[in-house]
A and B are shown apart, each in its own frame.
Chain A
Amino acid sequence: MELQVEKPKSNLFKIYEIISTMASRPSGLIGLTILLFHVVLAVTSPLYAPHDFKAIDPSLMLLPPSSEYWFGTDSLGRDVFTRTILGGRTALTVTFFGSIIALLWGGALGIFCGLVGGRIDDVVMRIIDAFLSIPWILAMLLIVSLLGTSTIVLIPALGFFYGKGIVRVARAATHDVIAKDFIVSARARGHGNLSIIWNEILPNVRDAIMVEGAMRWSWMLLGFSSLSFLGFGVSPPTPDWGLMISNARGLMSFAYWAVLAPIVGLSSLIIGINLTADAFAKALGIDRSTKAPV
């Protein structure tokens, strides 16, 4: 009998494989394209922004889209196109790092709770439940108004609030594997808790946690933009979609362009992340539709 020996795959190859699987579905390809477009835009936009984003000129107030001002101008005469392509930078950075923080602490606590179980698990989960019942936007407003709106405050605060859901997912995923015999076997051999978490549990729950993290990213983006919309996120004159929507919404009836452009930017990014996360889940073999977001 001929033996088919499979060569071990390098991690880089695995990533390539996952991405190519994601791109093999139309929804995944669209999601990846949108996300990539936004990331490239955020990195490179300062290089080719046609106008100064903070140049105020009363004579140019609320001009409709033209060849000079592609998306028109806003109530202070600033170029909406320039502000739109720059407007995702802060949101993307803050929420990206926020998601990583959420992923780390949520994943770690979830796995820990799932593993130790018993009373500690009960207490921690009830605390998480209590936090889940607090309207996060009020809590965020409180934190921001006490500590200011710098990114140093926003990233951990958002990371904290969006990590709660990940705790639940990580704990549930851990519960799925904890009863399996390979964990029992590791325990019987005498491995410690840390070794069991690192070697036995983490490889099995990593996928679920990462998919959940990707989902949280899009939620967090919406949350961050809401904060900006309320005036607690990015401070003017830094361009930001939430802030732009907030400023222009009163003039919507006669200067729709000033609202439409940031809305398209924000919603396309959220859709892009969502589609990517879905495709990511499918590529990893997790069906996210069966797990309700907490």
Chain B
Amino acid sequence: MENAVQQINNLSIGFTSKKGEQISILKNITTNIKKGETVGIVGESGSGKSTLALAMMGYVKQGLYTISGECLFHSNDLLRMKDKDLEDIRGRKIAMIPQNAGQSLTPNLKIGYQIDEALKLHTDLKIQDRNKKTSELLNKVRLPSPEIMAQRYPHELSGGQQQRVAVAMALAGNPELLLLDEPTTGLDVTTQAHVLELLNFIAKDTGTSMVYVSHDLGAIAQVSDRVIVMYSGQIVLDGPVRRILKNPIHPYTSGLLKSIPKLTLPGLPKSMSGSQPQPGTITKGCSFYDRCELAEINCSNNSPELEYVKNLNTSVRCFKHKELHEKIDKDENLVTSIENTILDKEMLGLSKVSISYAKKKFIDQLLNKESDDNPTVKDINLNISKGETLALVGESGSGKSTILKSIAGLLKAKEGNIKYENNKILPNELKLRDPNSLRAIQLIFQNPDESLNPNHTVEQIVSQPLKLYFGLQGEKLKDEIIKVLKKVRLGEFYLTRYPRQLSGGEKQRVAVARAFAAKPDVILCDEVTSALDVSVQAAVLNLLQELKKDFGTTYIFVSHDLAVVRAISDRVAVLYQGRLCEIGPSKNVYNFPSHPYTEVLLGAVLEPDPDIKPKLVAEDIVEEKPPEKGCSFQGRCPRKVGEICNSEVPPWQIGENGNAIRCHINVDELRNLQK
């Protein structure tokens, strides 16, 4: 192909196992990247997408080697090139933007110097020209006042700005191909939308080919012209973005799309069963056979080839793609709506809770003076009924996890009190709480890798609360553990396993089992699905919902993902800088009129649909500290009315649907503005 920048032919990369078997991570990848094209590579963890992206740079990770095939860049095979020749191509012709820009920038060198270094390496410009070019580059990635920015150190920039600097450095050599490995994964929703918009602009402006690797179909939808879907080291689907995301003709892709919660469709998405097979475990048949709804005997014996369907301009690896093409799902069949389990009984109440991380200064301590009048979390009033799911939503730094910690007793509230079951005030400190109230409130954490002790078996992990709260021992203990594991759909044979022998979803199930073993009334979920793959996320959400139905548990669900929150919650509270902005039943919060901050968040949500573009209404500035007076959102608000926002705390107003909004703008006026 003439206009292909990169051509990958029959590429397989793998390793040799301890037993001496050759195990492939990538299997027979054939594809090409055309000039000026943006290709999205999507897949869940372990699908081989990062290995493929690295191979496109001529890099194979230590321990892996090329089994067969080639990776041609203008008819030079990168994988068989000498290191010295590769150096000329990397950075100059092919540049990479890593996932975490904060870690890829040298912390003790100024931004300008680091970009200059890239220029020195990849261009032949003289020093004056380089200085000019540095400013130009910083301007191009839309960093404000480039001259000042160049004098800053990486830690003085926010995550989004650091990612922009990484983009600027990658552009320094004027590359023909730009590889992006999950470039927006660690960023806040609004920042992510801004960075994606910038990448789109750069692709158009420079005509660079881009390869965008991500697990996030929403992000892929926004930037790509073409999408490659990877599963278990193989390309299963390859075609134009609209074709792939609107009517996927591979069962994995359609399952993946169905398991993503959507803003427009309330209710829990369907989950896919099972998990991606480990490399080397599939010897014959289709690698998706175990999880496929359409699978036949044929699929378990013969592995399908990547077949080009001409009228759709798509390559697909499935025997039954024609069936899928004709099948159209109705929206209602895609989600299970959540049942109302709310009882008219207050479970937990927070009144006027303020939390401060600031330490009292020694002198203030002596004078018994309040040292922090601008606490991290201020004035939180929340009431949660039994059986309700309340979601706390906000970007990083909004204080949502802080509130959870305070409810759990891990963090002392400075002011206010937390009531449990109508009128019992919970002590501020963990030590002062009685065992029963400790039992009643359980936590589930974001990352099961960290929340499960790596040196304990599943049995030991789940036994902890049972031994502590109920004093169970011996046979009784074991029976109870098995019962609890069954509740989270884990069999008895998991008892002797260690966390490292479980998949991400299984680990999170064990964490859920541990929380439910205590027979709690309230479960605090801290970003429980954000470390999980999309298909697993749906399964965990469904599990939580079922358990709630069985036990009548109350959830407080913290998340930055508005779509996930939409799927599971009854009521939503939106937080900014530790202050409540809006609270109300979730269907109302997701409808206008709403608080300007909710509007900004909703606008930035990325739908897995290339035709729904995010609306960027506010700047993606990161504020270090909440403002001392006035509205918490004054710094970024797109609808700021004037002086009053800076000086007075806005009043609570009740919107027409029963959601409370804290804004100086009248609700009716907000509705008109947001139409």
Contacts and interface: CB of A to CB of B under 8 A. Distances in A.
B455 interface: yes
Contacts of A8: 457, 496
B362 interface: no
Contacts of A204: 453-455
A181 B464 contact: no
B452 A187 contact: no
B274 A1 contact: yes
A36 B555 CA distance: 59
Contacts of B409: 188
Nearest to B443: A188
A180 B453 CA distance: 9
Contacts of B469: 189
A182 interface: yes
B410 interface: yes
A182 B452 CA distance: 5
A181 to B, nearest CB: 4
Contact of B438 (A1, A180, A182, A189): A189
A191 B443 contact: no
Contacts of B491: 3
Given A182-B453, A200-B453, A189 B274 contact: no
Interface in B469-527: 469, 491, 493, 496-497, 501, 514, 518
A11 interface: no
Contact of B447 (A181, A187, A203): A181
Contacts of A191: 464, 468
Contacts of A1: 274, 290
A184 interface: yes
A190 interface: yes
Interface in A197-253: 199-200, 203-204
A289 interface: no
Interface residues of B, number: 36
A68 interface: no
Given A1-B290, A6-B496, A180-B450, A185 B455 contact: no
A5 interface: yes
B465 interface: yes
Nearest to B460: A199
B439 to A, nearest CB: 8
Nearest to B407: A188
Contact of B433 (A181, A186, A190, A200): A190
Contact of B445 (A6, A7, A181, A200): A181
Contacts of B451: 180-182, 184-185
A204 B408 CA distance: 25
Given A1-B274, A181-B445, A185-B445, A190 B435 contact: yes
Nearest to A200: B453
Contacts of A184: 410, 443, 445, 451
B430 interface: yes
Nearest to B446: A181
Contact of B468 (A180, A181, A190): A190
Of the listed residues A6, A190, A204, the one surrounded by the most CB atoms of chain B closer than 10 A to its CB is A190
B508 to A, nearest CB: 12
Interface in B382-428: 408-410
A185 B409 CA distance: 11
A182 to B, nearest CB: 5
B410 A6 contact: no
A163 B460 CA distance: 31
B456 interface: yes
Contacts of A3: 491, 493
B469 to A, nearest CB: 8
B450 A181 contact: yes
A190 B430 contact: yes
B493 A5 contact: yes
Contacts of B446: 181
A145 to B, nearest CB: 45
Contact of B410 (A5, A188, A199, A203): A188
Contacts of B433: 190
Interface in A29-55: none
B468 A189 contact: yes
A203 B456 contact: yes
Interface in A61-90: none
A233 B305 CA distance: 77
A122 to B, nearest CB: 14
Given A199-B464, A204-B453, A185 B443 contact: yes
A7 B497 CA distance: 9
A187 B430 contact: yes
Interface in A138-189: 180-182, 184-189
A190 B501 CA distance: 28
Interface string B70-83: 00000000000000
What are the nearest 4 A-B pairs in CB distance?
Answer: A203-B455, A181-B451, A190-B438, A181-B445
Interface of B: 274, 290, 408-410, 430, 433, 435, 438-439, 441-443, 445-447, 450-457, 460, 464-465, 468-469, 491, 493, 496-497, 501, 514, 518
26 contacts: A1-B274, A3-B491, A7-B496, A180-B451, A181-B445, A181-B447, A181-B451, A184-B410, A184-B451, A185-B445, A185-B514, A186-B464, A187-B410, A187-B430, A188-B410, A188-B438, A188-B442, A189-B438, A189-B464, A189-B465, A190-B433, A190-B438, A191-B468, A199-B456, A204-B453, A204-B455
Interface of A: 1, 3, 5-8, 180-182, 184-191, 199-200, 203-204
Given A182-B450, A185-B451, A190-B439, 14 more contacts: A5-B493, A7-B496, A8-B496, A180-B451, A181-B447, A182-B452, A184-B443, A188-B443, A190-B430, A190-B433, A191-B468, A199-B456, A203-B453, A203-B455
